[in-house]
Chains A and B, each alone.
Chain A
Amino acid sequence: MITIDSLSKKYGAHTVVDDISFVARTGRVTGFLGPNGAGKSTSMRMMVGLTSPTSGSASILGRRFADLPNPGVEVGVMLDASAQHAGRTGREILTIAQRMMGLPAHRVAETLELVGLTETEADRRVGNFSLGMRQRLGVATALIGDPSVLILDEPANGLDPAGIRWMRDLLRGYANKGGTVLLSSHLLHEVEVIADDIVMIGNGKIVWQGSKTEVLGAAGTVARAPDMFALRRALEASGVQTSVTDDGAIRTDADSTRVGRAALAAGVALTELRTAHGGLEDMFLELTANTQRERKAA
């Protein structure tokens, strides 16, 4: 479990992180979402003690990061996969981590296999690694100590579609086994797919937080029926505001349960009933509108 309590970071008069509080819970993947420069990375660096906060605190497993006796075996951290000495081999970087944590030597080969780096790849110097390989190595460094908490900054960055799927399955499985995962991303779709809880940050402030179901519920529902007229009438009759989308479906702000019930009550067969697409995206753009660089275009 990660507890962030009123964490702030100011550089002179400039506030980068402004009084954020949230909890990343055990057994769940928490997505830390925000546009570029919103303060995600600064917040994560404060969690692990690389940047000292101006005020507030962060605790991991109930303790300050610096008070963890052997942090590597309790918290896996990957802040920037490219931040490695380019002249070391992948295996050497992992070996350094293994030695520092005092783990048995066989963990290196096991972890390489876990993240899908081959023996030959691991013996290449990191300077020659592709971004995807660096990302896998970074995740390996985070996982080698078999920690119960993961803090990952943009873990999907640079991965190909198969790699993204792999990362998603890995983190999902990890949380399902009772681990805590906090990952940051500006890739909305990625977070929408993997996260259980979402913390949205814009301009250093938390603009929204809640579970993914809440985000999706808030996004509204899209429905279709062979008899669109009957469906719309049934929904309006049950007090649901409707509108017609560009491609002729009915969109409402109500959740899918309510729409389904209204259709059933009126005896209207549905051919499609789903959460409105781009729910998270719309919400994200709306909530972070005044922090976006592309304000005019949005």
Chain B
Amino acid sequence: MTAITIDPAREERIAVPHVPLNRVIQVELRKMFDTRSGFWLMASIVIIALLTTVGVVAFAPDTDLTYYTFAKAIGFPMTVVLPMIAILSITGEWSQRSGLTTFTLVPHRDRIILAKTLSSVAVAVTSMLFAFAIGALGNVVGTAIAGTEMVWDVSLARGANIVLGSLLCLLTGTMLGMLFRSSAGALVAFFVYAFLLPTVSGVLASIQDRFRDLQPWVDFNYAQGALFSGTLTGEQWANVAVTTATWLVLPALLGLRLVMRSEVK
């Protein structure tokens, strides 16, 4: 065995540099891909984008073969997969207990959470650019096959709205991850948030007139929906702002507080 030296005799090291944030981000980004589940979750974005594009080309009526159809079809599964990525990136530290190492290597949990949020956003933006590209390819190929005219009906502003909507979905995952700090709990909560609550809200709106007027102001999902379907009026932007504050920002602050205070065991 070669002599590998451990030399602990340096109690007063001079000026050890701080762990810079970009290093933490790089490591957190790496941790999203380096497990089998993480890898397949990422791969699923690519696979789903390709499958939905093929699906649209094969099954959508010719008149619907526009860029928006492709963008929407690819975008929807992403609003489910991206939050999961955000959730698992945070809850893994507790559920898999790797936080014991992570939070001792960087004893500032807010920095770790910031790094995780930024890496999730980076993954989301990359995925969406990829989705737009695949959608464009689908539009070119699809219309060529169907012999219809190419329709590019997603303006830059509309595209930006879709990106914003997807990011809100993703950050909902980040928020739930912080709030629950358990993969199972956060995933269940996400499905309640994304599917159960909107359904309940929809039923309520259909049977109660008073709630129908209120819905855009209290239903996060409903208000967000506008971002995916075109340009927004001033009131719709206000709806997005109010629901985001109540359903995302406030619980996220509570979650962050819990993350900072909770014991890591």
- On A, residues with C-beta under 8 Å from B are 1, 26, 45, 48-52, 61, 65-66, 68-74, 77, 79-80, 82-88, 92-93, 96-97, 99-102, 110-111, 113-114, 141, 143, 146-150, 173-174, 177-180
Of B5-13, B163-171, B202-210, B240-248, the one contacting chain A is: B5-13
- Apart from A99-B27, A113-B2, A178-B10, list 19 A-B contacts with CB within 8 A: A45-B264, A48-B104, A50-B104, A68-B16, A71-B107, A72-B105, A77-B101, A84-B96, A84-B97, A84-B98, A85-B35, A87-B35, A87-B37, A87-B38, A97-B105, A102-B23, A148-B8, A177-B8, A179-B6
Residue of B nearest to A147 (CB): B8
8 A Cβ contacts from B20-39 to A: 23-24, 26-27, 30-31, 34-38
**B105, A100: Cβ atoms closer than 8 Å:** yes
Residue of B nearest to A113 (CB): B4
Q: Which 10 A-B pairs have the closest CB atoms?
A: A179-B8, A178-B9, A87-B35, A83-B97, A85-B96, A83-B100, A50-B264, A69-B18, A148-B8, A66-B107
Q: Which residues of B contact A143 (CB under 8 A)?
A: 6
Q: Which residues of B contact A52 (CB under 8 A)?
A: 261, 263
**B11, A69: Cβ atoms closer than 8 Å:** no
Task: Tell me if B92 is interfacial: C-beta within 8 Å of chain A.
Answer: yes
**A50, B263: Cβ atoms closer than 8 Å:** yes
Interface centre among B12, B31, B104 (most CB of A within 10 A): B104
Residue of A nearest to B261 (CB): A52
Interface centre among B24, B30, B105 (most CB of A within 10 A): B105
**B18, A110: Cβ atoms closer than 8 Å:** no
| A26 CA / B9 CA spacing, docked (Å) | 9
**B4, A148: Cβ atoms closer than 8 Å:** no
A-B contact pairs, 30 of them (CB 8 A): A1-B11, A48-B104, A49-B103, A50-B103, A70-B16, A71-B105, A71-B107, A82-B97, A83-B99, A84-B101, A85-B92, A86-B96, A88-B34, A92-B34, A93-B101, A96-B27, A96-B34, A97-B105, A99-B23, A100-B27, A100-B106, A101-B19, A102-B19, A102-B23, A141-B101, A149-B8, A174-B6, A177-B8, A178-B9, A180-B8
Q: Which residues of A contact B12 (CB under 8 A)?
A: 61
Within the complex, the shortest CB–CB distance from B145 to chain A, in Å, comes to 41
Within the complex, the shortest CB–CB distance from B16 to chain A, in Å, comes to 5
Q: Which residues of A contact B31 (CB under 8 A)?
A: 96
**A174, B101: Cβ atoms closer than 8 Å:** no
